[in-house]
């Protein structure tokens, strides 16, 4: 080892390049053609608890752990001979009987004028933190893969749940509907007819709840609410939904205002469901003495559809959660449901590439759907 690295910078006899080699924050190694160390710096020697002069003549592989030696002989050395340069190869230095120091080695093979291998130069960088980070990253990746598998399994169970819900609950309801219709034709008792009417109302209510739960399962937990858009007249769909509400709510006043001058591409069943949910919400929350309005218009390639009602404004705290699932707000007990109607309506709007918004003050509460006509 040269004494020119001793002393302070700027003093006579001090060699800056020599000091850089010996005391660099990384290990430096120069190898002979047969892979023996001709020179190693003090930094590397300090890492493994040796004197730099003691390392001269040793094979580089002798400084590695057993797995590292095998990798060095079978992969590192042959690859360096062929490629001439290697970067950031992960190996472990043996620093004790059962201790190791993770390092990254970058190497360059040396060639003479006749392209003969005459040695190599290497730089070694501590990599304990980086290796720990990589192991942690691999662990997280494994956890993510496992979570993905779990979610896939859950999705399969979810699809089974939806299928069971649709099949095993709808069929009994259909049987009940058929039975009530049969009994209605065979009885003249006013009391029995009232009971049958109550049963039919309950059955329809149960069917609506099943529809809401299935839509929520598909939209919120599955692949989203599916739609099949077609260009069709929109006004008849809106008037049909309004007519059904007028029959069900004869004491309420409904007002329509349509200006549909452009063709609209939409899913008839889903838009009908959206409008029905909004009208039902207006019936449940609006002032029974005030009218319920349904308006729809097209302009500049966009559809604007609104449902409005009079009544107390929606509280600010409720406005923030209005389109969240299972939020019911303040509603008369007879009209309470699962609280999925507005959530499903907003999902239908999103499936059409649109948005459902709400504005509420002391004058009126208005839900507005805006979406592209095509």
Residue 332: the pLDDT is: 43
- The enclosing H or E element of 303 equals strand 302-309
Residue 327: the pLDDT is: 63
CATH no. of 230-372: 3.30.565.10
Handedness of CA 122, 91, 125, 26 (dihedral sign): negative
* 333 — pLDDT class (breaks 50, 70, 90): very low
pLDDT at 147 over 70: yes
Residue 297: the pLDDT is: 95
CATH no. of 3-126: 3.30.450.20
- Report phi then psi at 345, rounded to 5: -60, -40
Distance CA 296, CA 274 (A): 13
* Long-range own/partner contacts, residues 254-258 (CB < 8 A, 24 or more apart): 254/279, 254/291, 254/292, 254/293, 254/294, 255/291, 255/292, 255/293, 255/294, 256/293, 256/294, 256/295, 257/293, 257/294, 257/295, 257/296, 258/295, 258/296, 258/297
Residue 117: the pLDDT is: 82
Distance CA 180, CA 202 (A): 12
**Chain segment 46-104, per-residue pLDDT in tens:** 998 888 888 999 998 989 999 889 999 999 988 888 888 999 898 899 887 778 888 99
Model confidence, pTM:
0.49
Percent of the chain with pLDDT over 70: 83
Distance CA 29, CA 40 (A): 5
Comparing CA positions, the residue from 241, 266, 165 lying closest to residue 207 is 165
């Amino acid at each position: 080892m040269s004494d020119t690295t001793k002393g302070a910078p700027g003093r006579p006899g001090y060699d800056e390049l020599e000091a850089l080699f010996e005391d660099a924050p990384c290990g430096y190694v120069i190898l002979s053609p047969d892979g023996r160390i001709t020179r190693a710096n003090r930094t590397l020697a300090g890492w493994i608890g040796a004197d730099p002069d003691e390392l001269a003549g040793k094979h580089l592989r002798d400084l590695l752990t057993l797995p590292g030696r095998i990798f060095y002989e079978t992969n590192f050395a042959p690859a360096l001979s062929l490629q001439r340069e290697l970067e950031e190869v992960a190996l472990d230095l043996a620093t004790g009987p059962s201790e190791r120091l993770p390092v990254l080695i970058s190497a360059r093979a040396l060639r003479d004028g006749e392209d003969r291998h005459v040695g190599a130069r290497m730089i070694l960088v501590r990599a304990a933190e980086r290796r720990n980070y990589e192991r942690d990253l691999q662990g997280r990746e494994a956890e993510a893969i496992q979570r993905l598998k779990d979610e896939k399994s859950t999705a399969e169970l979810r699809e089974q749940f939806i299928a069971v819900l649709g099949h095993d609950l709808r069929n009994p309801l259909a049987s009940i509907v058929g039975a009530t219709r049969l009994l209605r034709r065979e009885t003249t008792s006013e009391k029995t007819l009232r009971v049958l009417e109550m049963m039919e109302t309950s059955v329809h209510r149960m069917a609506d709840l099943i529809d809401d739960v299935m839509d929520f399962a598909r939209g919120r937990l599955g692949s989203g609410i599916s739609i099949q858009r077609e260009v069709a007249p929109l006004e008849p769909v809106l008037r049909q939904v309004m007519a059904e509400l007028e029959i069900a709510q004869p004491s309420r006043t409904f007002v329509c205002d349509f200006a549909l001058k452009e063709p609209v591409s939409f899913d008839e069943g889903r838009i009908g469901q959206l409008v029905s949910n909004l009208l039902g919400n207006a019936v449940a929350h609006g002032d029974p003495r005030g009218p319920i309005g349904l308006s729809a218009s097209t302009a500049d390639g966009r559809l604007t559809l609104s449902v409005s009602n009079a009544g107390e404004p929606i509280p600010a705290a409720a406005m923030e959660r209005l389109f969240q699932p299972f939020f019911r707000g303040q509603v008369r007990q007879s009209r309470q449901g699962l609280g999925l109607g507005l959530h499903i309506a907003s999902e239908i709007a999103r499936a059409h590439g649109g948005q459902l918004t709400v504005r509420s003050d002391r004058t009126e509460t208005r839900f507005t759907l805006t979406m592209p006509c095509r």
